[in-house]
Amino acid sequence: MVHDSRLARGEGDFAADRLRAQFGRPIHLVHRLDRATSGGLLLAFDREAASALGKSLMAGDVGKAYLAVCRGWPADEAFTVDHPLDGGPGKPQKKPAVTRFERLAIAELPMPSAGFETSRYALLRAWPETGRFRQIRRHLKHLSHHLIGDTSHGDGRHNRSFRMLGIHRMLLHAEQLHFPHPFEPGVTVRVRAPVDAGFARALALFGQP
């Protein structure tokens, strides 16, 4: 987990603490990732930078793109989910939530499912335009294109199929991040995070390098 929260349930090992130890100085998290999501995480070393980046985030000037693998083939190559979501445990109020998706590739694998001899999957890129609790995961569930490896909102049958292929992680990766430089007006910082071995194994199913 990125930091301590009510979801930690007594855990004591957090990414934020590891980063403070690694850098040997205080850090300020600008945003967070779900526990099982890999990829780029934005943080600052001082309050001034954190405040500037936080304002950019609230203004919608921070762009985030994720790679995701879902069950089924979405009908459209590009589509948007506009579906309000609550804030997670203890936060029942629903707020607007919008995610744009692009279908990058499709695959049909020889794994029986629901009476069919094969199973269909899609590789997506997702751009969340809002930052709700588990937004991408829950929006994919809303479409019945469940995220592979998601044990909370996914489909257990397909998760098991991927574990049989040696892929034991949730297939959501924060691939790209861009934001205004906090101290250099007009400068945009663009960051790309490579996938790990587990996600690379999944990409290979779609003929992706």
Residue 87, domain member (yes or no): yes
CA separation, residue 83 to residues 48, 66, 76, 109, 138 (Å): 34, 18, 18, 30, 9
Residue 175, domain member (yes or no): yes
Domain CATH for 188: 3.30.2350.10
Which of 153, 130, 148, 150 shows the shortest CA–CA distance to 206?
Answer: 148
- As for how many domains the chain has, the answer is 1
pTM score:
0.90
Tens-place pLDDT, residues 132-157: 999 999 999 999 999 999 999 999 99
pLDDT of residue 175: 97
pLDDT of residue 3: 61
pLDDT of residue 22: 93
Active-site residue, selected from the candidate residues 4, 34, 61, 155: 34
What is the average per-residue pLDDT within 104-130? 93
Say whether 196 is catalytic: no
Residues of the domain holding 155? 62-204
- Which tokens hold the place of 157? 């049958």
Residue 40, domain member (yes or no): no
